[in-house]
Every structure is written in C-alpha cells, then in structure tokens.
Chains A and B, each alone.
Chain A
C-alpha cells in the first residue's frame, strides 16, 4: 500500500518535471521511422522496436529513480518507514511506463504492418515486456543511490545495454529479440520474461541494500 502511495507521489513529480517525456518521445520516434514506411511482415519489425525499448526503459527508470533530490529522498524514506517501499514505488512507475510503451509499440505495429495474428501480438507483447523490464532493472542499477552522477549513469547504462542486447543467445533481451526475428512462437518468450522479472527483483534488492547503507 505504501509502495503505491510512493508510486503516485513519484508519478506526480516525474510528470510535472517532464523528464520522462524524452525517453517516451524517443520510443515514439523509433516507432514512426519503423512503421512509417513498409515495415515488412510481423513479427520481425517488432524485433527493432523491442530492442529500442531496452535503452528507453533504462533511461525511464533512471529518470524516475533520480527525480527526487537525495535529501528529499531521505524525507520520503523516513515517511515510508524505510527504503523498501520507495524503491518498489520507483519500480512500479518505471514498469507502468514500460507497459504504456509496449502497448504503443505493439498497437502501432498491428495497425500498420501485415500479418498481425493473435499469436504474433502475444509474441510482440512478451518481447517488448522482456526488453522493457530488463531495461528497468539496468536503470535501477545505474541510478541513485548506486550511481550518483548522471554522466556515469549514461556511460555505464549505455555499455551494459550495448553489450547485452546484441547477444542472441543471452536472455532476456538478446534471446527475446532473436526469437521475434525468427518467429519462434509465444512460448520462446517465457524464459526471457521470467529472467527479466528476476533481474528487476535482484536490482531492487541491491538498490534497497545500498540505500540503507548511505
């Protein structure tokens, strides 16, 4: 319950700060380029948009995690009774953004491109979620309180995303993108999605642990 109250509070500030607007616009730009011309038959075009969602979700999570000044954060932590609910609230807002961008990406694809069967839509949703949820996990690890400076956040986040996104055997993002490109069916995405959620859980635990020590 406290986590949801924190999430509403962070959403309210993040929305007013307009810092989340840039990653959302970035994803919309990718969608416009991808589905503006002839994207080819689904689900292959979604491989590109889910790949794009990975760094976008990382950016989104960093923006949400850094929206509060560290001293302001200490007030929120005291009010919430510890860093746990605050980190969970951050994750909730970041994941809400991922769900929104997944809906936009899959929605745009199925309206414009050919061959949108129900199975393809499920594949698209699962792949985008796997990439977005993993991006949230990476974002938590390169934002405050682990990485205080936004320049380091950008550099480390970029390196992690570039190195992990291009390995087709590596779940969650590399494997999910490769499975979309080859149209391997919805069941191929379950392992990547499960791994993505495990990563978010682990990243949250690390963030809570570090917040306690600071």
Chain B
C-alpha cells in the first residue's frame, strides 16, 4: 500500500500547487484535473522525483517506473542502450520486448533524439513498465501513441499487480479494470464516479446544423435550445429525436446544412 499523506507543494512566491493531498492505494488510480491543476507535480512527488513542501509518501518501493508528461528523447544513445542503462540503474533486467509489444517502429541503432514523438513515448513506457516495478506512475501515457499501442496499453496496465497512478485526457484510462478515479481541484483530491468524465461523451449525440432566415425564431418554433451563428442554428440532439426535429424544421421553412456525430 502506497500512502501519500498531507502532501503540500508550493514553489517560491507562488500560491501552493498542492494543499493537503491524501491518497492511499495499492491498485490502479486514475487522476484527472484541469490543465495546471498540479497533477504532474503530485505524480512527481509520488514517484520520488521531488520532495513535498510538507507531508510525506510512505511505502514507496525500491523500484519505481515513472513516465513524465512529454518524455523527452534528446539522448544520443539508441533506445535499446537506454533501456539497458535504466534497468541497470534500477537493478532489474531490461525488457526490450516491451517495445515490440507496443509496436515500436523506430530505428533501434540510432540516437533516441531521432525518434518520432510516438516512438519516443513507447521507449518511455518501456522503461517505466519494464523490470517489474513496485510502483508505476504514468503522466499522460497515451499522448502521441498510435491507435494499436493506445488500445494495447490498458491491457498491459491491467496485468500490473502494483500501485498504479495515471493521468489521462483521452478517456482510455477508463478501460483499466478496477481503477479508482480521483480529481484534483484547488490542490486537494476529490473522489470522482468512474464514468463522470466519459459518461456524457459515451452517450452518443448528433450534431445538427440548420439554416433559416431567422434561426432564433426557428428554434423557438421547434421548442429547442441551440447556438445561433448568423443564418445558422446549431443543435445537439439525442439520436432518437433527430428525425422528428429535421421534419419539423423543414416544415417551418428551415433547411438542413449538416447532420453528424457530435
């Protein structure tokens, strides 16, 4: 069980980024929050990259796998050499086959600085997940991944049997089985229902754009609310209501510009 207790962090002259974060976990935790809400700072503290201003992290294992936001690949060494060095620093065995599992397609003998963003991210993931870490901390691991790798990552993460802390803006973290969801707001953690982030998005919706001489009047006739933009009215509808609304709109003198997924 990893315990972050009363974590505060402030950088000098700035308001505190974290103001008393408590988090205890031994399985997957998905952390969300607005841009600049301190997610990356909390991850860096949990991973042991920086110390909190107050509070402490207990039970951090010896081997930690950490993937920062924007894994930089400015090193001159090839990916395989980098993974071997990082494994040696951790005292574990390198797992270059993780690169294959993630569909790494970059040159293996050339400098990491020449890798594409996605391939560099795969190297970052391979170093974080390889060698049996006792704690895995991943900051936006889906950033830059192609679809196959992005789909495979939740499978890899589901097989981890260690504390896992991950941030995600893509919604794919919802596919990690048994994950707890928390949100960072004003420097403290609040629990979040598992589907709060993906729920409204998961329900399909249809975007409809209508054109009329007076789009506001057309919306009033239809009894619907929407956005008016010059001679157009933009609506978001549940799929079941689309046909009826289009029919009514045509009957009231409007015309249909587009119908598509919202």
- Which residues of A are interface residues toward B (Cβ below 8 A)? 1-2, 5-6, 8-9, 12-13, 16-17, 68-69, 71-72, 74-82, 85, 212-214
Contacts and interface: CB of A to CB of B under 8 A. Distances in A.
24 contacts: A1-B91, A2-B89, A5-B85, A8-B85, A8-B88, A9-B86, A9-B88, A9-B89, A12-B77, A13-B77, A16-B75, A69-B74, A71-B70, A71-B72, A72-B72, A76-B89, A78-B65, A79-B64, A80-B90, A81-B48, A82-B48, A212-B51, A213-B50, A213-B51
Closest 9 CB pairs of A and B: A16-B76, A78-B66, A9-B85, A74-B49, A5-B88, A212-B51, A5-B89, A78-B47, A69-B72
B62 interface: yes
A2 B88 CA distance: 8
Given A5-B88, A80-B89, 4 more contacts: A68-B75, A69-B74, A75-B68, A78-B65
Contacts of A75: 66-68, 71, 86, 124, 127-128
B216 interface: no
B48 A76 contact: no
Contacts of B68: 71, 74-75
Contacts of B49: 74, 77-78
Interface of B: 44, 47-51, 62, 64-72, 74-77, 81, 85-86, 88-91, 111, 124, 127-128, 137
A13 B48 contact: no
Given A16-B77, A69-B74, A74 B66 contact: yes
A72 B49 CA distance: 11
A12 B51 CA distance: 28
Contacts of B44: 74
A6 B71 CA distance: 19
Contacts of B64: 78-79, 81
A28 to B, nearest CB: 23
Contacts of B48: 77-78, 81-82
Contacts of B89: 2, 5-6, 9, 76, 79-80, 85
Nearest to A17: B76
A5 B64 CA distance: 16
A68 B71 CA distance: 12
A68 to B, nearest CB: 8
A8 B88 CA distance: 9
B111 A16 contact: yes
B66 A79 contact: yes
B210 to A, nearest CB: 48
Contacts of A214: 50
A148 to B, nearest CB: 14
A91 B227 CA distance: 63
Nearest to B50: A214
A69 B71 CA distance: 10
Contacts of A77: 48-49
A16 to B, nearest CB: 4
B110 to A, nearest CB: 11
Contacts of A81: 48, 62, 64
Which of A8, A13, A212, A214 neighbours the largest number of chain B CB atoms within 10 Å of its CB?
A13
Nearest to A4: B88
Most buried by A among B48, B90, B91, B111: B48
A72 B75 CA distance: 9
A176 B74 CA distance: 40
A81 B133 CA distance: 12
Contact of B86 (A17, A79, A82): A79
- Residue among B51, B89, B91, B127 having the largest count of chain A Cβ atoms under 10 Å: B89
Nearest to B60: A81
A9 to B, nearest CB: 4
B199 to A, nearest CB: 33
Contacts of A79: 64, 66, 86, 89-90, 127
A74 B124 CA distance: 12
